Structures are given as C-alpha cells and as structure tokens.
Amino acid sequence: MTDTQTERGSCKFTVQQVEGGKQAIVVQTFHDNIGALRHATLGFNLLSGTTSEQAKKMAEMLNEYVLEAFLTISDSHPMFKK
C-alpha cells in the first residue's frame, strides 16, 4: 500500500502577464506551509484572447471561494519524509 503525505496552507491567486503577452493566474502560498512550493511557482496559463480584466475576475473569484491549497506526495517521491 502506498503512503502519502499532504501539506496544506492558505494561498491567494494573482494575475501575471507571461511570455507573448498572455495572462496567467499564479498561486501564492503563505508561511511556507507547502514545502514543495517554497522554491517554486505554480501557475495556470490562460487561453489566448483572455483579457487582463477577465483574468482579474477569475483570480478574484478563486480568492473568494478557495480556502487553501494542498499538495499530496506519495512515498515513491524523493520529497516524501519518512
């Protein structure tokens, strides 16, 4: 049976402009509660044609409804703490 570890923490969503002028939504975590994201960025590239106003509305909605982010790691992953 596979063991797993889950880390969770509060987060917020922001909008960034990425290569090619496209919009992206980026997850920012607080207090380094999710170890794997301490030195990483998790983001979502949005479809071409998504305006900055549309991206901001999506980020605002996510911030209103998402309580926290979580990451589950299986025991086969090198970051699994035994």
Helices (H) and strands (E) in the chain, counts: 1, 5
Per-residue confidence (pLDDT) for residue 80, from 0 to 100: 67
Q: Which residues of the chain have pLDDT under 70?
A: 1, 79-80, 82
Per-residue confidence (pLDDT) for residue 2, from 0 to 100: 75
Per-residue confidence (pLDDT) for residue 1, from 0 to 100: 55
Per-residue confidence (pLDDT) for residue 14, from 0 to 100: 98
Rounded-to-integer distance, Cα 59 and Cα 15, Å: 7
C-alpha angle with apex 60: 14 to 27, nearest 5 degrees? 30
Per-residue confidence (pLDDT) for residue 46, from 0 to 100: 97
Is 32:38 a contact under the CB 8 Å cutoff? yes
Rounded-to-integer distance, Cα 66 and Cα 69, Å: 8
Tokens 């987060």 appear where?
11
Per-residue confidence (pLDDT) for residue 38, from 0 to 100: 84
